[in-house]
Amino acid sequence: MVFKKLINWARIKSPWIIHFNTGACNACDIEILATLAPRFDLERFGVLLKGSPRHADVLVCSGPVTLQTKDRLIRVYEQMAEPKFVVAVGTCACSGGVFNGCYGVKGGIDSVIPVSAYIPGCPARPEAIIDGIVKLLKSLKQ
Amino acid sequence: MVMTIFYILVFPGFLFLSAYGLAVEFVDRKLYARFQNRKGPPWFQPFADFVKLISKETIIPAEADRRMFKSLPVFAMTAVLTASLYIPVWSTQSLFPFEGDVIVILYLLTIPTLTFFLGGWHSSSLYSTLGSVRVLTQLFAYEVPLLMAILGPALLAGTWSLSGVSAFYAANPIYALVNIPGFVAAMIAAQGKLERVPFDIPEAETEIVAGAFTEYGGRLLALFRMTIDIEMVVVAALVSAIFIPLFSANPWLGFLFFVIKTLFVVFLLALFRSVMARLRIEQMVRFCWRVLTPLALVQILIDLIVKGFVQL
């Protein structure tokens, strides 16, 4: 019981993220990078950007899933170790946005892999991304 | 017997080193954040990272050599913990000193680097193979200047025992002034040994994902991270025991001095890390052989001349 509490506490305090562009126009990517840069400093919540999916807990996706990135997205998701969470950043990642129904687009992130948090916005502002991640971590408490 | 087990497991062995290693990682990250004008992580951050990694699923790639992949983190950790037995903590004497333990410490500190190489190699993934080859290339560049920078002060002290060297400089602190070039060389080489910016070429996350650690995750990665933290403590303690003559006969005061000295070395390492950018591998090798090794050689020359004058 105590151990479970400790482990849950550690998971909330140290979410390492990996950033994957599934076909975004780059606006959301710039905002995600701005969130990680010194001005907003996500490291104060324990968030670190990791290069390897094996190290990461949270997969931060931006953009609608194109047919080209669909297989890669599934592969990156499956390489991550449990427990893992997916955050969709931007309107396109949430639902496919204006690209929904386009010939090369599958749809939002949740049409391929399960998503834990949606952060809408075109592009989503750093404040919105921080808000979304904090809400995801709060939901882990229960 | 009981005391020996206490020394090895609790203080200054396993438990103390793990806790102090996590504390040192926090100090390093906090200083790094402050140098970048950020707020930085809270004090429990390395501990939370460690617990989280321990509780995560451990994935072993199908291509990897299972036995090697799983046992290498343990080897790495054992080697650094063994090295700590020959490091003086609360006085000039280490726990089990003998003539020649400086060389043994340096050998034991090489073993983690070799396990990083082997771990990356046995992961059989492209990025980890690239990273592990870079680990070895870098090893050949910084190992020689590090050894020679430590050889100089030991020559002046006339002993190969770390406790003897510390005792010599504790008795004659003025001689530490001639070792300043060696101190600079050793600090830069230590930055390479700990694989930190500007020598973090083996795990350059913007080029090769996470280098040798790409395929490691969960418990095994936690062990590797803990190894790097403890290695940082041991390297900081080694450098400070040789180059900073601040000792005390009182164990409590001596321990306080140990903490101050190692944190000072960590401060310098964090400063290097924040003001530098990553070099390319061939720039790093060229720098180490053309600048760092001659600097360490000059240090040996200075020490030999001073030793000649002292004996006159």
Domains in chain A (CATH in brackets) are 17-141 (3.40.50.12280)
B209 to A83: CB separation less than 8 angstroms, yes or no: no
Tell me the chain B residues in contact with residue A44 when contact means C-beta distances shorter than 8 Å: 38-42
A50 to B52: CB separation less than 8 angstroms, yes or no: no
The two tokens of residue B46 are 């390395």
B37 to A82: CB separation less than 8 angstroms, yes or no: no
Paired sense of beta strands A65-66 and A105-107, if any:
antiparallel
How many domains are contained in chain B?
A: 1
Listed ranges A38-42, A97-101, B10-14, B29-33; the one with the highest mean pLDDT = B29-33
Q: Any idea which of A54-58, B34-38, B172-176, B256-260 has the lowest mean pLDDT? A: B172-176
CA distance B119 to A63: 35
Mutate to test the interface with B, among A55, A58, A80 (most CBs of B within 10 A): A55
State how far residue B239 is from chain A, nearest Cα, in angstroms. Answer: 30
Residues in chain B: 312
Q: Residue B209: what residue type?
A: V
A14 to B52: CB separation less than 8 angstroms, yes or no: yes
Q: Which of residues 207-246 of B touch A (CB under 8 A)?
A: 209-210, 213-218, 221
Domain that residue B163 falls in: 2-311
The model's pLDDT over A1-53, given as tens digits with 9 standing for 90+, comes to 788 888 888 888 888 888 888 888 888 888 888 888 888 888 888 888 888 88
Which residue of chain A comes nearest to B48, CA vs CA?
A10
Mutate to test the interface with A, among B29, B32, B56 (most CBs of A within 10 A): B56
CA distance B52 to B219: 9
Of A13, A41, A81, which has the smallest distance from its Cβ to B218's Cβ?
A81
CB B180 within 8 A of CB B241: no
CA distance A133 to B180: 48
CB B97 within 8 A of CB B86: yes
CB A101 within 8 A of CB A80: no
Task: Give me chain B's average pLDDT, please.
Answer: 84
Query: A142 falls in which pLDDT band (50, 70, 90)?
Result: low
pLDDT at A65 over 80: yes
CA distance A120 to A38: 23
pLDDT at B176 over 80: no
Tell me the chain A residues in contact with residue B33 when contact means C-beta distances shorter than 8 Å: 41, 43
CA distance B251 to B247: 10
Which residue of chain A comes nearest to B49, CA vs CA?
A14
Give percent above pLDDT 70 in chain B.
99
pLDDT at B94 over 80: no
Residue B55 has a pLDDT of: 85
State how far residue B283 is from chain A, nearest Cα, in angstroms. Answer: 24
Task: Say yes or no: A66 contacts chain B, CB-CB below 8 A.
Answer: no
CA distance B74 to A58: 27
Residue A111 has a pLDDT of: 83
State how far residue B29 is from chain A, nearest Cα, in angstroms. Answer: 10
Listed ranges B15-24, B80-89, B162-171; the one with the highest mean pLDDT = B15-24
Q: Which of residues 9-48 of A touch B (CB under 8 A)?
A: 9-11, 13-14, 16, 38, 41, 43-44, 46
